[in-house]
Structure 1
Amino acid sequence: MTELPMLRPTRREIASGVVLGHVPDPSGTSRTGRRRPRTPSTAAGNRAVTPLAALDLAVLPALRRPPCLVSFSGGMDSSLVLAVALRAARREGLPEPVAVTWRFTGAPRANESSWQERIVAALGLDAWQLLQADDDLDLVGPAARRLLHRHGLRHPVNVHLHLPIVELAAGGSLLTGAGGDQVLRGWRRARRGPVRARLRRSAATLRAGLRDRMSAGDQFPWLHPEVSAEVWRAHRAERRGEPRRLDHRIGWHVRRRDLRLTCGSLRDIGAAHEVAVVNPLLDDGFLAALSGSAGRLRCPPRSRLIADIAAGTVPEVVTAARPKARFLEVFLRTPTRRFVEGWDGSGVDEEIVDVAALRALWSRWPIPGGTAGLVQDVWLGLNPAEVRRSEPPRPPVPEAYR
């Protein structure tokens, strides 16, 4: 994915917790996500490269910049990246990547340990580092504070979970599964499948329809009504605008500001520690190969796409469908609870935020996840970073490793 200049969330995006809109694409993607025709020579080259081969090429620069760490949660995307990177390292005689995994106390819905252990065993992985988090990854906990003071408020609000991993990779590289939710999954669901699956999707469609009928105030009750209505309309319009065809969906998602801000945050955090952060699932060559092989499919299931990409070259457990973990309780811990309980109502944009409504919401626990950006923004305003006068500027990460 072509990099653009650094982007920051707007005041309204911080207040609402929703990042909307697209950025211009100098590579020639149209507003609908449809890519303009390539030159014949480029197109011919893309047809010769399978998605697996392209993904293999995408991980090699990181493997050649050791230590190479993989942010491995046990989910489908990070598992695929880990398996492909391990396979490429063994073939090329390169140092094997080190999988780094967070384990969380008091967050049962974020527990993916059984999948992690099965995948690590199936891959024969020796280098696996476990990090333990209690309040460490809270919205205003130790890792978040370090990130906020060095980089300011970034998107997404949980990006600080990568900071300790980047610090471990200092001078090397980090592979992530960023972009998988957008490129391989998207928002729209496949229409075909077993009867039970179709019934579940029908129920999900019904629930989505009911949500659409809810007032904007129900969705963003901490915002002023007129602001909430504008954000809700724009949010619904963007979700409904997602193309169904895979190739169009890919082009549409990679231009979304949400994804661009995420990649920019990861890149900048890595550069501060001379770490090349590589997101193979957003590599231009991989996206072109995937569009060429499966682009005409409409809303293909994620499990099917991943299995097709792997092409039988990795253990089945890597590509098996699994429940998606929920991480909100990882980030809403004691530091955030204490902070919002003591909040005096200052530090927010009162033209956007209804202070009385927000105080009422923050008086109950857990607080809405959509207000997480406000928590960090207010905390940073009350706890500004000290000016670092003696720290020399870090050299940028070479373009070849981005």
Structure 2
Amino acid sequence: MLRPTPFDLASGTVLGVGPALPRPLSATVPDPLGALDEAVLPALRRPPCVVSFSGGLDSSLVLAVAVRAARREGLPDPIAVTWRFTGAPRADESSWQERVVRALRIEGSWQILRADDDLDLIGPVARRLLHRYGVLHPVNLHLHLPIVELATGGALLTGGGGDQILAGWRPPASSRARLRRVRRAGRALLTGSSRPTKLLPWLRPEVAREVYRALRAEQRAEPRQLGPRIAWHTRRRDLLLTCSALRAVAADHRVALTQPLLDEGFLAALSGLAGGRRRPTRDELLAEIVGGSLPVEVTAPRRKARFLEVFLRATTREFVRSWDGDGVDPRLVDAAALRSLWSRWPIPGGTAGLVQQLWLAANPTPSAATGPTGGAASAAAGTGAPGPAVPASGSEPDAEVRS
């Protein structure tokens, strides 16, 4: 299983791109919707087939394709599993969840999980994952642990990869003003005319400069044409670490993980359909993929949910306020600056990895020192993942795991 490096955890995200594949993807089914259909069938034939369903566009598409394929093949409907959160209004997607479920007529196979402080960064669910595996990327991967457990012995379908494949990682229009402010702060930081606290205040100044340069270089490197962009995103460490961690958790529960939007056949078919286009929008791609074959509720535009407030709850708040400043790597992190930052609430999402790393170091599992799983001991020390050890920016965890 691939793991985040100390630099990844300190700076709050994962950058780096692996080498190009030796051969292009080949499409066995030229139609992207048909390719998705083929991708979900093995999971449907291994019950229970659970779909991690948030109500967002990607998980709605995967759920709709799975329901259609199951009914055509005479298989049981997949089980849609959805989280509902208290005290997290920006994460509320209940209205879209209900619309999609009604349109697909799967009310009888829809299961809703409810969470208050349960999904805190170091809450009860996260602790089970941390003690078993150590700190993983993304830091909110524990959101999927109860869903994986419901699928034990069967299969799990997710909408993972949709943000990268269908939309790239460029910010939506609503985020452009904020990005401009960050860029201005970064330029000032690089020229020495502004203190680094304007951008990544918990990092050493020289580290913050390195982070910003690496982030901007990777943003500029993202191809504009869809085909090359797909190939580029599937090699990014961010996505590779995410898939590796979720695959390992699923395997430990005898669950076959399928992420149809990252399926090779689907990616090849999508590249064949629109690979030469420059910056096609998600709405355009979804309309062409579906072609009127699914209910309109599945692909109708909707607000993107934000999940940071789901993971920053009372347990994290208590831990960061009582932290004594010990345990961080002084070459990367300014402990005094981090303590000052953590004295205010909410804390920056970019420091979430440090929260888990420091909590695990203070609360190791008894078998951590000798366990074969590469768990708490190695993760607390920041065991590195293969790949380029590049720095990264302080992006919010809610941009990392979405169904």
Q: TM-score, normalised by structure 1?
A: 0.87
Structure 2 stretches of 5 or more lacking a match?
A: 190-195, 374-403
Q: Distance in 1 between matches of 2:14 and 2:185?
A: 20
> Taking CA–CA contacts closer than 8 Å with sequence separation of 6 or more, which of the two structures ends up with the larger relative contact order?
2
Seen in structure 2, the aligned counterparts of structure 1 residues 130 and 212 have a Cα distance that, compared at 3 Å, is same
Aligned to 2:48: 67
Which residue of the partner structure matches residue 240 of structure 1?
A: 220
Tell me which residue corresponds to 1:96.
Answer: 77
Indicate if the aligned counterparts of 2:30 and 2:272 stay in contact, CA closer than 8 A.
Answer: no
Q: Give the letter aligned to residue 134 of structure 1.
A: D
Instruction: Please identify, of 372-381 and 15-24, the stretch whose mean Cα deviation from structure 2 is larger.
Output: 15-24
In the alignment, structure 1 residue 304 sits paired with structure 2 residue 284 = yes
Q: Does 1:213 align with 2:184?
A: yes
Q: 2:117 aligns with which of 135, 156, 168?
A: 135
How far apart, in 1, do the equivalents of 2:84 and 2:144 lie?
Answer: 13
Aligned counterpart, 1:87:
68
The equivalent position to 2:105 in structure 1, one of 114, 124, 140, is 124
Residue 172 (str. 1) matches residue 154 (str. 2)? yes
Once the two structures are overlaid, the 10-residue window that deviates more, 274-283 or 213-222, is 213-222
**SS of structure 2 residue aligned to 1:100:** strand
Q: Counterpart amino acid of 1:138?
A: D
Please report how far the alpha carbon of residue 205 of structure 1 lies from its aligned counterpart in structure 2 after TM superposition: 4.6
**Which residue is 1:14 aligned to?**
9
d(CA) in 2 for partners of 1:129, 1:325: 20
Q: Distance in 1 between matches of 2:236 and 2:372?
A: 33
- Judged with a 3 Å threshold, the aligned counterparts in structure 2 of structure 1 residues 321 and 153 are, in CA distance, closer, same or farther, namely same
C-alpha separation in 1, matches of 2:75 and 2:260: 18
Give the direction of change, closer, same or farther, for the CA distance of 1:383–1:242 in structure 2 (3 Å limit). same
Aligned 1:275-286 pairs, distance under 5 A: 275-286=255-266
Task: Tell me what 1:195 maps to.
Answer: none
Cα RMSD, aligned residues only: 2.0
Deviations 1:241-260 (A, max 9, x none): 11111001100100000000
Output aligned runs, 1:311-326, within 5 Å: 311-326=291-306
Distance 2:65 2:310 in 1: 28
CA deviation after TM superposition for structure 1 residue 188, in Å: 3.9
How much has 1:22 moved relative to structure 2?
A: 1.1
Corresponding position of 1:153: 135
Q: Kindly indicate whether residue 322 of structure 2 is the aligned counterpart of residue 342 of structure 1.
A: yes
Q: Does structure 1 retain, via aligned residues, the 8 Å contact 2:260–2:266?
A: yes
Report the secondary structure of 1:214's partner residue.
helix
Distance apart, 1:210 and its partner CA? 3.3
Task: Write out per-residue CA displacement over residues 268-296 of structure 1, whole angstroms, 9 at most, x where no aligned residue.
Answer: 11011111111110001100000001111
**SS at structure 1 position matched to 2:304:** coil
Determine if contact 1:188/1:244 at 8 Å carries over to the other structure.
no
CA distance in 2, matches of 1:11, 1:324: 30
Which SS does the other structure have where 1:99 is aligned? strand
- Decide whether the 8 Å contact of 2:141 with 2:246 is kept in 1: yes
Instruction: Normalising by structure 2, report the TM-score.
Output: 0.86
